[in-house]
């Protein structure tokens, strides 16, 4: 039995996907899929998939978003990488941006409204939320990541020298490719970006793959620690790559919520 893992990052109208066989790293492929379920239900049936998309939505957001968002900001610190505060579930399912802002303010302390950038990713959030609520068994396989946290971890905890967009884009992309190669991903997979996928989206999917590998090996780290869960039972946690000095968890283990 093969053990495939995967990574997913949203791109225009689709998802950038990557797959790797843990038991035979010479077997891999990069794909463009319409829905996360297309990768999860594909022939490889990956046992762990990292996804750059919020999972777990609070009924009432406090302190500027979910506990995972606040923990991620603490790791990244000030700089070019951002963590959008994810609004409460009612706002995520709003029909218009104006409605989302009003609902977010009504269901947050202190009140905040989602940015237009956050609003633009909410269709993907709704899709993933709906998938996991309809198929709760997938919670053991699909896990939230933040690519810039992954790259920072791979860079020894230090900020990267350049971003993925704007001035310095090519240097930023090259820096991330080098980190992924140093992390042990196959050169052919790093270079094998499918048609219709942006270079930054492909690299972010590969960053998610690194976390999927560490989850499968019981070495990934949660933000926050221990993770939270929302009222629907979905985990609220962003997973980071392994710390070489850490003790392994059982593969895919999610510690119980504190106080539960």
Dist CA 50 CA 242 (whole Å): 14
Indicate whether 148 and 181 sit together in one domain.
yes
Domain count, the chain: 2
Indicate whether 71 and 40 sit together in one domain.
no
pTM of the model: 0.92
Whether 190 is in a domain gets the answer yes
- Domain residues for the domain of 35 are 4-51+143-216
Indicate whether 42 and 149 sit together in one domain.
yes
Whether 232 is in a domain gets the answer no
Contacts 24+ apart (CB under 8 A), 255-258: 255/222, 255/225, 255/226, 255/227, 256/226, 257/226, 257/227, 257/228, 257/229, 258/226
Whether 137 is in a domain gets the answer yes
Indicate whether 153 and 33 sit together in one domain.
yes
Indicate whether 22 and 37 sit together in one domain.
yes
Residue where one domain finishes, among candidates 116, 141, 166: 141
Indicate whether 71 and 126 sit together in one domain.
yes
Average pLDDT, consecutive stretches of 10 residues, N- to C-terminus, the chain (260 residues): 92 95 96 98 98 97 91 83 88 98 97 94 96 98 97 94 84 96 97 95 98 97 96 97 60 38
Q: What is the pLDDT of residue 81?
A: 60
């Amino acid at each position: 039995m093969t053990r495939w893992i995967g990574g997913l990052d949203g791109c225009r109208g689709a998802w950038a996907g990557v797959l790797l066989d843990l038991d035979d790293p010479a077997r891999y492929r990069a794909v463009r899929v319409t829905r996360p379920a297309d990768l999860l239900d594909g022939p490889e049936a990956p046992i762990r998939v990292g996804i750059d998309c919020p999972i777990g939505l609070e009924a009432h957001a406090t302190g500027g978003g979910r506990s995972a968002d606040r923990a991620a900001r603490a790791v990244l610190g000030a700089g070019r990488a951002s963590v959008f505060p994810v609004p409460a579930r009612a706002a995520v399912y709003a029909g218009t941006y104006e409605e989302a802002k009003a609902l977010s303010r009504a269901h947050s302390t202190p009140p905040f409204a989602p940015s237009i950038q956050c609003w633009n990713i909410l269709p993907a959030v709704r899709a993933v939320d709906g998938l996991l609520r309809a198929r709760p068994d997938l919670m053991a396989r699909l896990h939230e990541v933040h690519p810039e946290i992954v790259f920072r971890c791979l860079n020894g905890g230090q900020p990267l020298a350049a971003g993925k967009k704007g001035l310095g884009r090519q240097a930023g992309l090259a820096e991330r490719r080098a980190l992924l190669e140093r992390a042990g991903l196959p050169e052919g997979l790093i270079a094998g970006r499918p048609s219709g996928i942006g270079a930054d989206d492909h690299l972010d999917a590969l960053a998610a793959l690194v976390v999927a590998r560490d989850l499968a090996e019981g070495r990934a780290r949660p933000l926050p620690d221990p993770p939270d869960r929302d009222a629907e039972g979905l985990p609220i946690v962003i997973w980071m790559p392994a710390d070489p000095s850490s003790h392994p968890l059982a593969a895919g283990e999610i510690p119980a919520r504190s106080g539960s």
